[in-house]
């Protein structure tokens, strides 16, 4: 059984992008091939002289970044889905984290082959015992072998979220406050 706790880069943004990319890859039926393409992307970027400076430039000068993505996708014969992902990363000002996304996706992919995958995001650090209890509960409900990718996102305020495929179970304080606010607005409009 794979290790239970796997923090995707210790960065909530990287974690979200890896989750999204994996979902795209799964919908294409090419999870492993996307990993191979990411390794090629990483190799191309790292082969640039001062790649950290290069990534900052691509992030700051969007037109150069878009041109680089276009040329890279042509050279590596990447599918449109991966080109769209890279473009979104650039437009969101996060292109500088592409190498982290590549590394985390690869590590993540090695852990999920053949198992049900759950992304669990806690609002704050929790004890191992709680993580293990949650894992046990997931095995009980879903059966079989599972892998859990654990990350932390303080914007949840308290509680946690579980994502499995496109389904999300949100037990966070942020979600509760949003529902309460929405209900209060609805009630105020009905008066």
Burial class (CB in 10 A: 0-12, 13-18, 19+), 98: buried
- Structural domain range at position 133: 114-190
Clarify whether residues 18 and 103 are in a common domain. Answer: yes
Clarify whether residues 104 and 124 are in a common domain. Answer: no
pLDDT tens by residue, 35-69: 889 989 988 898 888 888 998 888 888 999 999 99
Of the pLDDT bands very low, low, confident and very high (cuts 50, 70, 90), residue 169 is confident
Q: Is residue 86 part of a domain?
A: yes
Q: Is residue 3 part of a domain?
A: no
Is the model's pLDDT at 5 over the cut of 50? Answer: no
| Dist. CA 125–CA 144, nearest whole Å | 27
* Higher-confidence position of 189 and 173: 173
- pTM of the shown model: 0.59
Clarify whether residues 125 and 80 are in a common domain. Answer: no
Residue with tokens 């879903």: 142
Average pLDDT, the chain: 84
Boundary of a domain, candidates 109, 139, 171: 109
CB 99 within 8 A of CB 9: no
Clarify whether residues 100 and 173 are in a common domain. Answer: no
Clarify whether residues 50 and 97 are in a common domain. Answer: yes
Clarify whether residues 94 and 181 are in a common domain. Answer: no
> Which pLDDT belongs to residue 6?
44
Clarify whether residues 97 and 127 are in a common domain. Answer: no
Q: Is residue 4 part of a domain?
A: no
> Which pLDDT belongs to residue 76?
93
Beta strands in 9-114 (DSSP E): none
9: left (phi over 0), alpha (psi -120 to 50) or beta: left
Mean pLDDT value across residues 139-157? 83
Q: Is residue 6 part of a domain?
A: no
* 180 contacts: CB under 8 Å, gap ≥ 6: none
Task: Please compute, for residue 112, the number of CA atoms within 13 A of its CA located in the half-sphere on the CB side.
Answer: 23
Clarify whether residues 131 and 147 are in a common domain. Answer: yes
Boundary of a domain, candidates 49, 81, 109: 109
> Which pLDDT belongs to residue 1?
27
Clarify whether residues 16 and 105 are in a common domain. Answer: yes
CB 139 within 8 A of CB 150: no
Clarify whether residues 81 and 43 are in a common domain. Answer: yes
Task: Provide the β-strand partners of residue 151.
Answer: 121
Question: How many domains are there within the chain?
Answer: 2
Q: Is residue 7 part of a domain?
A: no
pLDDT tens by residue, 120-132: 888 898 888 988 9
pLDDT tens by residue, 12-36: 788 888 888 988 888 888 888 998 8
Q: Which CATH number covers residue 163?
A: 3.40.30
Boundary of a domain, candidates 109, 143, 162: 109
Clarify whether residues 126 and 100 are in a common domain. Answer: no
CB 149 within 8 A of CB 178: no
Measured in whole angstroms, the distance separating CA 42 from the mean position of its chain's CA atoms is 17
Clarify whether residues 16 and 83 are in a common domain. Answer: yes
């Amino acid at each position: 059984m794979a290790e239970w706790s796997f923090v995707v880069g210790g960065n909530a943004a990287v974690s979200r992008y890896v989750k999204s990319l994996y979902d795209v890859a799964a919908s294409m039926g090419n999870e492993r091939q996307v990993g191979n393409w990411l390794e090629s992307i990483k190799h191309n970027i790292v082969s640039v002289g001062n790649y950290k400076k290069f990534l900052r430039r691509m992030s700051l000068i969007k037109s150069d970044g878009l041109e680089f993505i276009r040329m890279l996708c042509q050279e590596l014969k990447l599918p449109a889905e991966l080109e769209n992902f890279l473009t979104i990363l650039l437009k969101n000002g996060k292109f500088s984290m592409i190498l982290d996304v590549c590394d985390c996706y690869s590590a993540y992919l090695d852990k999920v082959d053949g198992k049900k995958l759950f992304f669990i995001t806690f609002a704050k650090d929790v004890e191992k015992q709680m993580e293990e209890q949650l894992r046990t509960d997931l095995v009980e409900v879903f059966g079989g072998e599972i892998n859990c990718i654990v990350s932390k996102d303080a914007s949840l305020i308290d509680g946690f979220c579980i994502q499995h495929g496109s389904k999300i179970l949100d037990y966070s304080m942020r979600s509760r406050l949003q529902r309460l606010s929405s209900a209060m607005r609805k009630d105020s409009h009905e008066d």
